[in-house]
Structure 1
Amino acid sequence: MKRLSLALVSLAAIGLAMPIAASAQDKVTVEFWTMSLKPKFTPYFQNLVKQYEAANPTVKIEWVDVPWDVIQSKLTASIAAGQPPALVALNVPWAYEYSLNGVIQPVDGLFGKDIGLYADGAIKDVTFNGKAYGFPHYNGASILAYNKTLFAKAGITKVPATLDEQLATAKTLKAKTGQAGFSPALGKIAGVFMQEGLPLVENNKAVFNSPKHVAMLAKFADAYKSGALLKDNLFAEDNFQTSIDAYKSGRLGQLVAPPSALTRVRDDAKDIYAVTEVAPAPLSASKIAAGGWLFHFAVPKGISGPTLAEAGKFGKFVTNDVNQVEFSKLAGTFPTTKKAAQDPFFQSLKSDAGAFEKGVATGARSLDSIRTLYVAGVPDYEVLNKRLQDATEAAVIGRKDIKVSLDEAAAFWNTKLAAK
C-alpha cells in the first residue's frame, strides 16, 4: 500500500512539473482573413502562424486568404451566419463604410498604449468618429523623382516641397529646357482637391465651385497654357504609365510615383536613372503627401469575449515591427509602425545607393504625412466624378471659364444628390 501511495504521489509530482497541452476544446480559435495574398505570401503567413501558436499554446490560428473581389460579400455572409472571422483585412474606404453601418467594431481597447507604436498617418486613416477601427498593416508612399540634368540646365537649385513650388518649377523647366515639368493626375481631381484640404461635398451639397477650388484650377490652367504640364493622358483616370514613359525618355522633369517605379527607369533607361535624384513628395496645404493606400486588420461585429481579446493580441503581433519589416521586404510596400520605418532595410544606404534605394528610404521617412484619400458617402459617385472630370478638363485647357465650368458641374451634382 505504501508503494502504491508513493507511486501516486510521484505521478502527481510529475504532472505538476510537466506542462499540460491545451486540448482542442480548450483553445481559443482566431480566424483571420487576408486579401489576395496567396500564393506569394503563403510561406510567410504559415511561418507567422507557427510562431504565434508555439508561443501561445492555448490559441489556434486559422488563416484564410480571400480574393479581393469577393471578400466584402463573404464577410457580410459570415456575419449574417454568426460566424465572422476574428480579423479581416480591409482597405480604408471599405472600413469607413463598415464602421458607419456597424459591421466592424472599434479596437481602441485592444490597442492600449501600443497605439503609439504606429505612424500618426496610419492611425488617422483607421480612425472614424474618434475611434480606431483596425490594426494598420501596410501602406504605400510616393516620392518625388527629378532629372538633375534638366534641373541644372534650368538653373533650379531648390527642390519643390509644395504643389505651388512644383508648378512653378514645372514652368521654369519648360521655359529653359523645352521639356514638360510635371504630370499631375488631373483625372483624379477629386483626390487633388482633398489633398489640398478642399472638400467636395458639405451638408449634402457640392462645394467644389468655391473661390479656393477655382483658384487651384486656375494654377493648373496657367501651367497648362505655358506647356509645363505633360499633356499625355493628362485628364485620364490613370496617367501613371504615360508619366513613367515620358520620364524615361527625358521628356518629363519631375515624377511623383512609388519608389518601385524607379526600378523601371533603372532597367529601361540607364542614362536617365543615372541622373535621377529623389526627394519627399511635395506636401499639400493640409500637410498630406501623395501615395497612401493603407490596408489593415479590422474586427467584425459579433466577436467578443476571449476571442476578441486574442484577436487583439494577434492583430498586434501580425503588425508588429519585425513582422511588418519582413512583409515589406516581400511585398515592396511600406510598414505602418514608427520603428519598422527606421529599420536598416529602409534607412541604411550604401555609398553607391541608386535612386530606387534612396526612394525607399525617403518614402519610409514620410509615413506620418501619408494618408489614404477617398470619397465616401456620395451615391452614384462614378457618374458624378465623370462630370467633375469633364468640367476640369474644359476649365484647364481653356475651353470654358473655370468658374462657369465648376458651377455647372456642381449644379449637376446637387440635382443628383437632392434626388437621393
Structure 2
Amino acid sequence: MRRWIVGCVVVVVMMLLLSAFAGAQKKVSILWMEYDGLTPDYALNLEKAFEEANPGVDLEIISTPWDLGHDRLISLLAGKEPPDLAVIGTRWLLELLDMDVVEPIEKWVSKDLLNNIDPALMEGKVKGVLYGLPVAAGTRLMYYRSDIIDKAPETFEEMLQIALKIHKPEEKFYAVGMSGKKYVELTEYAYYLFGNGGYFFEILPDGSYGKCTVNDEAGVGALAFMNDLVNKYKVTQPGVTAYRRDELQDLFIAGNLGIFLSGGFTAALLEQRGVTFKWDVAPMPHFEGKPQSTIIITDSIVLFKDSDAKEEAGKFLDFFYSDPWRIQFDKMVGFPPVTKSLANDPFFQKPVYKVMIEQIPNAKGWPLIPEWPECNDIIWDNIVATFLGEKDPKTAMDDAAREIDALRGM
C-alpha cells in the first residue's frame, strides 16, 4: 500500500513538472511573407529545426501573401494582437515608427550576426537606431528570350523597336509584359520613371522629401511611354489591368513573353520549373540620353515593442541568419545574400546576381515616408485610369501629385 501511495505521488509530481514545463514554453510568432520561389516546406522545416534546437520555444510562422501583408499587419497592430516579429517592406518602417510599435533590434541579436551583415544593407536604421535586419535586398533587371532576341536592348526605345518585330499575338506570344493591376509595390512605374531620370519627390537640401514630382517631364514621360506600349503600339499582353507581377511572371515562365522586367526571384523560378526555352538577363533599360538606373528593394525583419518573447525572438533571428538556413532562403528567393559569409559562395556567381550587384551604384530605393502606402495606391489608381483610357498621362500624374501633396500637407 505504501509503495502504491509513493508511486502515485511520483506520478503526480512528474505530471506537475511536465505541466509546468509546457506552461513555461515561450511562444514566438512571426508574420512571414510568401516570397516567389520560397516553398512552404522551407518554413515548416525552419520551424521544426528551431524548436528542436530550442526546446523551450514554440515557434509559429504565419505565412501571408505579400499583397495582403501590409494590411494584415496593420490590422493585427490595431487589434492589439501584434506578432513578435514580422517581415516587412522596409518602406513601411517609418509608418510603424509613427505608430510607436517597433523595438530597436540590436540588443536582442548577437554581435556575430550584426557583424555578418554589410552595413550598406542596413536600411532598417533610422536616426542611428537599428529597427530592422535586412531579409532580402536586390535590384530589378530585365529578362529576355535569348533564343528570339539576339542582343538585349540597352534603352527603352530599342526595346520598343524589338517589340514591334517579335510581337505575335495570334500565336499568344507578346513582346513586352506590363503589370497594370494595383499591387503592394509600384515597381512597374518605377522602372520607367527611374530610367527617365525621375523620382517620386523632390529631394530637399537636408535630404528630406519635398513635393511630389510624378507630374514633371520625367514622370509624365514614363507613364506616356508605358501607355503607348499598351494602347498605341499594342505590344504587351492584352488586358494589362488584370495582371499583377506574379501573374505576369507566370506568362513569361510559360513562354508567352519576350521581355519581362522583374527581380532575381524570377530566375529562381525559371530554374525550379525547368523551362525549355533560352533566356538571359541584362541591366534595366533606360531612356535615350538618361543615365541607367533601376530600383533597389530591401525587405526587413522587425521586432515589436509589445512582444513578451524578445529574447526568444532574438534567438530565432540568430538561427535564421546562420549559413545553412540563409543559403537555402537566398537560393529559393533569388536575391544576392545579405550575409558576408555567403557572398563568395559559387552559387551566387551566376550572371543574374552579377547584374543585380553591378546596378547597385546607380539604383534608387523607395521613399522612406510614413504615407508611402497611401501614395503607392494613389499613383497606381491613376496609372490604371490611364491604361483604361479614362485619363491622359499628364492629367493622371497631375491628379496623383496634387492628391499626394494634400495627403502630406504640402
TM > 0.5 fold call? yes
CA contact (8 A) 1:145 1:277 kept: yes
Q: How much is the aligned-residue C-alpha RMSD, in angstroms?
A: 4.7
Tell me which residue corresponds to 2:160: 171
Provide Cα deviations, 1:124-168, integer angstroms capped at 9, x if missing partner. 2x234443212333467755322223323xxx3xx34xxxx3412
**Corresponding residue number in structure 2 for 1:256:** 261
Which residues of 2 match residues 83-94 of structure 1 at below 5 A? Answer: 87-94=85-92
Larger radius of gyration: 1
- Matches for 1:206-221 after TM superposition, within 5 Å: 206-220=212-226
Indicate yes or no: 2:403 matched with 1:406.
no
Match of 1:146 among 136, 141, 144: 144
Distance 1:367 1:314 in 2: 32
Alignment-derived partner of residue 278 in structure 1: 281
Of stretches 127-136 and 195-204 in structure 1, the one that deviates more from structure 2 is 195-204
Instruction: State the match for 1:299 in structure 2.
Output: 303
- Residue-pair matches, total: 352
Please, what TM-score do these two structures have when normalized by structure 2?
Answer: 0.64
Q: How many Å separate the matches in 1 of 2:143 and 2:25?
A: 49
1 CA distance for matches of 2:131 and 2:179? 30
Structure 1 residue 123 corresponds to structure 2 residue 127: no
Q: Among 92, 95, 100, which residue is 1:97 paired with?
A: 95
- CA gap of 1:35–1:185, structure 2 versus 1, over 3 A, is same
Q: 1:33 aligns with which of 26, 30, 34?
A: 30
State the Cα deviation string for residues 309-358 of structure 1 (Å, max 9, x = none): 664454233223332113445x54544324335434444x7xxxxxxxx6
State how 1:174-253 maps to structure 2 within 5 Å.
174-177=163-166, 181-187=175-181, 190-194=186-190, 196=194, 198-199=199-200, 206-220=212-226, 227=233, 229-236=235-242, 238=244, 240-242=246-248, 244-245=250-251, 248-249=254-255, 252-253=257-258
- Report SS of the residue matched to 2:28: strand
Structure 2 partner of 1:13: none
Q: Any conservation in 2 of the 1:34–1:88 contact (CA below 8 Å)?
A: yes
Please give the secondary structure, in 1, of the residue aligned with 2:135: strand
Most deviating of 142-151 and 106-115: 106-115
Q: Residues of 1 paired with 2:377 and 2:217: CA distance?
A: 24
What is the DSSP-based 3-state SS (H/G/I as helix, E as strand, rest coil) of the residue aligned with 1:209?
Answer: coil
Counterpart residue type for residue 377 of structure 1: E
- Indicate if the aligned counterparts of 2:379 and 2:397 stay in contact, CA closer than 8 A: no
Identify the residue that residue 47 of structure 2 maps to in structure 1.
45
Q: Does 1:62 align with 2:44?
A: no
C-alpha contact 1:145 1:278 (8 A) present in aligned 2: yes
Gaps of 5+ in 1: 1-22, 54-59, 350-357
- Where structure 2 has 5 or more consecutive residues not aligned to the other structure, the ranges are 1-19, 35-39, 169-173, 204-208
Matched, 1:384 2:378: yes
Whichever residue aligns with residue 50 of structure 1, its letter is E
Report the alpha carbon displacement of residue 286 of structure 1 after superposing the two structures with TM. Answer: 8.3
Distance in 2, Cα, partners of 1:28 & 1:209: 55
Question: How far apart, CA to CA, are the structure 2 residues paired with 1:236 and 1:65?
Answer: 31
The 2-side partners of 1:175 and 1:364 are apart by: 27
- Structure 1 counterpart SS, 2:267: coil
- The alpha carbon displacement at 1:238 in A equals 1.4
Are the structure 2 counterparts of residues 52 and 344 from structure 1 closer, same or farther at C-alpha, using a change threshold of 3 Å?
farther
Letter in 1 for 2:397: L
Question: In 1, distance between residues paired with 2:330 and 2:259?
Answer: 26
Question: Offset at 1:210?
Answer: 1.7
- Residues 16-55 of structure 1: CA deviation (Å, up to 9, x unaligned): xxxxxxx979x995734353787763333221232356xx
CA distance in 2, matches of 1:35, 1:301: 18
Residues in 1 aligned to 2:230 and 2:92: alpha-carbon distance in whole angstroms? 35
Going from structure 1 to structure 2, the CA distance change for 1:328 and 1:116 (only over 3 Å counts) comes to same
- TM-score by length of structure 1 reads 0.63
Is contact 1:184–1:229 with CA below 8 Å preserved after alignment? no
Q: Secondary structure at the match of 2:244?
A: coil
Whichever residue aligns with residue 162 of structure 2, its letter is L
Amino acid at match of 1:297: I
Alignment of 1:151-166 (within 5 A): 151-152=149-150, 156=151, 159-160=152-153, 165-166=154-155
CA distance in 1, matches of 2:111, 2:359: 22
CA contact (8 A) 1:282 1:289 kept: no
For residue 148 of structure 1, give the secondary structure of its aligned residue in structure 2. Answer: coil
Kindly indicate whether the alpha-carbon contact (under 8 Å) linking 1:135 and 1:319 is maintained by their aligned counterparts in 2. Answer: no
What is the CA-CA distance between 1:301 and the residue it aligns to?
A: 1.4
Cα separation, 1, equivalents of 2:83 and 2:392: 53
Check 1:314–1:411 CA distance in 2 against 1; reply closer, same or farther (3 A cut): closer
Contact preservation (8 Å) 1:117, 1:339:
yes
Measured against aligned partners, the alpha-carbon deviations of 1:261-304 in whole angstroms (never above 9, x if no partner) come to 4258745xx3xx1x3223455589685446x462x432221569
Sort the Cα spacing of 1:300 and 1:219 in 2 relative to 1 into closer, same or farther, 3 A. Answer: same
Q: Secondary structure at the match of 2:240?
A: coil
- Aligned residues: percent identity? 18
1:229–1:201: structure 2 CA closer, same or farther, 3 Å change rule?
Answer: farther
Counterpart in the other structure of 2:339: 337
Where 1:149 maps in the other structure, the secondary structure is coil
